[in-house]
Structure 1
Amino acid sequence: MRSRPGAYSRKRGRKFSTSRRNLHMATWEGVPATIFQVLLQGPFLTGFLLYLGASSGQIGLVIALTTLVNVAQVGVAFLIQRLPSRKWALVTFVGLHRLLWSSTGLVPFLFPRPFWVTAFIILYALAFIVNTAGAVLWSSVISDLVPPRVRGRYFGIRNTLLNALGSLVLYGGGVVLDHYPGGQGFLILYIVVWIFSTANVVVFFFYPDVPFEKSDERKFMPMLKKPLHDGLFMKSTLFLSLWLLLQNVTVPLYSYVMLQLLHINYQTLSLLTVFQTVFMMVSFYFWGNLNAKYSNKRLLFWTLPIIAASSLLWGLLSVFPVLLVLVAVHIVFGVGVGGFNQLAFNFIIGDTPKKERPMYMAMYAALTGLASFFGPLVGGKVYEWIENWPHAVQVYGMQLIIGGLMIVLIMLLGHRILKDV
């Protein structure tokens, strides 16, 4: 009889150490992923597209493409139920995504100049079509990998560490582009991208193949109806989709405004993004601690006025120095969007039934992705329409309008929908 408690204790010890090892693996996987993604997104994406000769409308289209393809996640969520193992499917789709995305750096070497933007858009679109499968698989695996009792704290710590790394990469990338303007600077960045995107795929080979608790439904329509018939989930998701539609009219094009209209250099733009990231990191800890006391939905509501305020702050450019206002905008937005992203993810993986979680996550991604697609597309077209309007209207007019609409949305629907049951 005495051996059984000892065996149970050792078993518990092995289980605990395996869980810790899995969490460390998931954190380390984020290191190369963060490095190459930072160098391919945000100001560097906008800058590379401007180098290729893209217009504001084309930049808006490229930014929007990453969210439009999320609609396909609904089909992927159904198909993965048929997989005997998620790990190797995850490795395959992640590898294809990294390969296609990083190959956009070869566009100036492989195509004549008139086709640069078109070739970039095609490769970029293919990369994120493939990523729809990878995103569903990764979200499904990570939700099973991280125990529910430590999710808030773990993702807070993970996000803080990776965003700290991202801040350093952002600043370093800005320095490189300022010292080596044009094609030479982007070639240096893409060499780093090729190295770390490869390393990221290699790390996925060491991911554990965690057991997959599948849906009780075997047909597509009954599985699809699970989230559709969940009234609280659908109301929250539709509201957040409308919110992201407004937010993405302006936020993804901040880099365009700063680079093209305010003539901010890459190093300064990178520093501003670092400010945003640092305060986002601080907010992860803040929101994570609050999440131990308050629900995901209530805290999501609290993030909305902060994001709206960051948009309204652009209006201060009419009376205060440009850099002072931009620093304030990025700090406030970092605090708000850091909480929003973390809490929205916790809401999807924590407030939904485990067996049906892939379809719930896919439905959320599809609806918010569709809304987020139209945001930058509309924003990019508006900047084309107003290019001959007064400079002040081009720089901060749309931000003030969107910020005002956000406040109206919060007052009319936010409190009623994102309330505790």
Structure 2
Amino acid sequence: MNIMRNRPLRNRSKDLRKASVHRKNLQIATFEGIPSTIFQVLLQGQFLTGFLLYLGASSSQIGFVLALTTLVNVAQIGVAFLIQRLPSRKWALVTFIGLHRLLWGSTGLVPFVPQEHWVTAFIVLYTIAFIANTAGGVLWNSVISDLVPARVRGRYFGIRNTFLNALGSLVMYGGGIILDRYPGGHGFLILYIVVWVFSISNIVVFFFYPDVPFEKSEEKAFLPMLKKPLQDKLFMKSTLFLSAWLLLQNLTVPLYSYVMLQLLNINYEKLSLLNVAQTVFMMASFYVWGNLNARHSNKKLLLWTLPIIAVSSLIWGLLSVLPMLPVLFAAHIVFGVGVGGFNQLAFNFIIGDTPKRERPMYMAMYAALTGLAAFFGPLLGGRIYEWIKEWPQWMQIYGMQLVVGVLMILLALLLGRRILRDE
């Protein structure tokens, strides 16, 4: 009799301990995002483009650098297989994440080598950093999908993304003010000092990540493991379509900063405000997309994001008849709403609509295919901007966006409605 009465209490105590462990793990994952967000915001986007321009890079070299991070994602397929042989994911995660942070931060040392080697030295360090990040990314996605319980996943990532994007907006604006106040090398030196502080802090926080149990694939050999996502027709159709979409989108979007800094002569503070506006509306959209996701599937909502992203590209055409800043703010705001939903729903699609045991290989296949598309997009976009350098300036400033916007609308209508529908 006593045993029967005590059992529910023990079960309740066990549930409370489990809930406490989950809460602690989620707090660590959220806290880790703070230094990660700060140093990444200061090293990418407008700051990356600005630093490359300072180093003397051409538009095609900038396009190559912007595309490089996605090309190395192809290696995730090999990493997804190799992590099945790891006794522990934690220390491999710490190693590769640490290498990425240190090498990416080391690009700030490039101005100390002879000037004729600046761009080459940057590309070498940047490439090695993101090769390490490829392994780190697979490991982090694998760990975080096990760390966050499925029942709270949507709400947790919504809150985490909102908080970190708000922080990123403040950092972005502050970085823009620094570069306007201290132009050239002095400003970038200040940014890189901040980068080093927070990249080291980020590595330290990863030491506190839990070593969660790893549910490994049933397959032991590489080819059978690789065939799992390849034989999933619904997954492959969706992934190939999204890859084609990202190829189009990345013809212009990664080069927005180049157009605004180089062709429209916008200063860093205004550029930061544009990106902050985009981020604020992206954060607001997380809540809306999250609520819609409770009633509609990931694929259906992904389809809804596509025309929004296409319209953001078409808005650039209004530069021909309206003042510059209102048009740019409108384009960034609409893009923030669309891409916020796209990124959140694509992530949910990969970690929620795929088998748990095979998830690392599914994630790797998605990252490899979309990464190839996202690589060739900015690379081709950078080349196109060089080809049309002698064309009328309107074609360089907003003509590309108009062409890409029309193509995206056609792709969404002709293929998207058939591929991203609920089966």
1:54-69 alignment to 2 at 5 Å?
54-69=57-72
Tell me, in whole angstroms, the C-alpha distance in 2 between the residues paired with 1:385 and 1:295. Answer: 42
Check whether the contact 1:153–1:289 (CA below 8 A) recurs between aligned residues.
Answer: no
Are residues 1:18 and 2:9 paired? no
Tell me, in whole angstroms, the C-alpha distance in 2 between the residues paired with 1:154 and 1:420. Answer: 25
Q: Which amino acid aligns with 1:29?
A: E
Instruction: Find the residue that maps to 2:262 and give its secondary structure.
Output: helix
Tell me, in whole angstroms, the C-alpha distance in 1 between the residues paired with 2:31 and 2:284. Answer: 20
- String of CA shifts for 1:275-296, please: whole Å, max 9, x gaps: 0000000000110111111110
RMSD of aligned Cα (Å): 0.5
Aligned pair partner of 2:114 in 91, 112, 115: 112
Task: Identify the residue that residue 132 of structure 2 maps to in structure 1.
Answer: 130
Q: Which amino acid aligns with 1:323?
A: L
Aligned pair partner of 1:384 in 383, 386, 400: 386
Task: Identify the residue that residue 259 of structure 2 maps to in structure 1.
Answer: 257
What 5-or-longer segments of structure 1 have no aligned partner?
none
Check whether the contact 1:171–1:274 (CA below 8 A) recurs between aligned residues.
Answer: yes
Tell me, in whole angstroms, the C-alpha distance in 1 between the residues paired with 2:294 and 2:103. Answer: 40
Tell me, in whole angstroms, the C-alpha distance in 2 between the residues paired with 1:131 and 1:167. Answer: 23
Aligned pair partner of 1:87 in 87, 90, 93: 90
Tell me, in whole angstroms, the C-alpha distance in 2 between the residues paired with 1:107 and 1:69. Answer: 22
- String of CA shifts for 1:185-214, please: whole Å, max 9, x gaps: 000000000000000000000001000000
How many Å apart are 1:20 and its aligned residue? Answer: 0.9
Q: Which amino acid aligns with 2:384?
A: V
* TM-score of the two chains, using structure 1 as the length reference: 0.99
Aligned pair partner of 1:243 in 233, 242, 245: 245
- String of CA shifts for 1:289-330, please: whole Å, max 9, x gaps: 111111100000000000000000000000000000000000
Are residues 1:50 and 2:53 paired? yes
Tell me, in whole angstroms, the C-alpha distance in 2 between the residues paired with 1:165 and 1:248. Answer: 25
Task: Identify the residue that residue 3 of structure 1 maps to in structure 2.
Answer: 6
Are residues 1:102 and 2:105 paired? yes
Q: Which amino acid aligns with 1:299?
A: L
Tell me, in whole angstroms, the C-alpha distance in 1 between the residues paired with 2:358 and 2:200. Answer: 32
Are residues 1:155 and 2:138 paired? no
Check whether the contact 1:77–1:362 (CA below 8 A) recurs between aligned residues.
Answer: yes
1:321-360 alignment to 2 at 5 Å?
321-360=323-362
- String of CA shifts for 1:344-375, please: whole Å, max 9, x gaps: 00000000000000000000000000000000
Q: Which amino acid aligns with 1:36?
A: F
- String of CA shifts for 1:78-112, please: whole Å, max 9, x gaps: 00000000000000000000010000000001x10
Tell me, in whole angstroms, the C-alpha distance in 1 between the residues paired with 2:33 and 2:301. Answer: 25
Tell me, in whole angstroms, the C-alpha distance in 1 between the residues paired with 2:25 and 2:422. Answer: 33
Tell me, in whole angstroms, the C-alpha distance in 1 between the residues paired with 2:388 and 2:150. Answer: 49
How many Å apart are 1:24 and its aligned residue? Answer: 1.0
Task: Identify the residue that residue 298 of structure 2 maps to in structure 1.
Answer: 296
Q: Which amino acid aligns with 2:138?
A: V
How many Å apart are 1:392 and its aligned residue? Answer: 0.6
How many Å apart are 1:152 and its aligned residue? Answer: 1.0
Q: Which amino acid aligns with 1:171?
A: Y
How many Å apart are 1:389 and its aligned residue? Answer: 1.1
Check whether the contact 1:101–1:124 (CA below 8 A) recurs between aligned residues.
Answer: yes
Tell me, in whole angstroms, the C-alpha distance in 1 between the residues paired with 2:129 and 2:323. Answer: 40
How many Å apart are 1:16 and its aligned residue? Answer: 0.4
How many Å apart are 1:388 and its aligned residue? Answer: 1.4
Task: Identify the residue that residue 35 of structure 1 maps to in structure 2.
Answer: 38
Tell me, in whole angstroms, the C-alpha distance in 2 between the residues paired with 1:306 and 1:155. Answer: 22
How many Å apart are 1:3 and its aligned residue? Answer: 2.0
How many Å apart are 1:184 and its aligned residue? Answer: 0.3
Instruction: Find the residue that maps to 1:313 and give its secondary structure.
Output: helix
Check whether the contact 1:249–1:375 (CA below 8 A) recurs between aligned residues.
Answer: yes
Tell me, in whole angstroms, the C-alpha distance in 1 between the residues paired with 2:23 and 2:295. Answer: 25
* TM-score of the two chains, using structure 2 as the length reference: 0.99
Tell me, in whole angstroms, the C-alpha distance in 1 between the residues paired with 2:186 and 2:254. Answer: 25
- String of CA shifts for 1:114-172, please: whole Å, max 9, x gaps: 10000000000000011110000000000001111111111111100000000000000
Task: Identify the residue that residue 370 of structure 2 maps to in structure 1.
Answer: 368
Task: Identify the residue that residue 186 of structure 1 maps to in structure 2.
Answer: 188
Q: Which amino acid aligns with 1:84?
A: P
Task: Identify the residue that residue 212 of structure 1 maps to in structure 2.
Answer: 214
Tell me, in whole angstroms, the C-alpha distance in 1 between the residues paired with 2:154 and 2:11. Answer: 28
Are residues 1:74 and 2:65 paired? no
How many Å apart are 1:41 and its aligned residue? Answer: 0.4
Tell me, in whole angstroms, the C-alpha distance in 2 between the residues paired with 1:331 and 1:5. Answer: 52
Q: 4+ residue runs of structure 1 moved beyond 4 angstroms?
A: none
Q: Which amino acid aligns with 1:350?
A: G
Task: Identify the residue that residue 312 of structure 2 maps to in structure 1.
Answer: 310
Q: Which amino acid aligns with 2:358?
A: E
Equivalences, count? 420
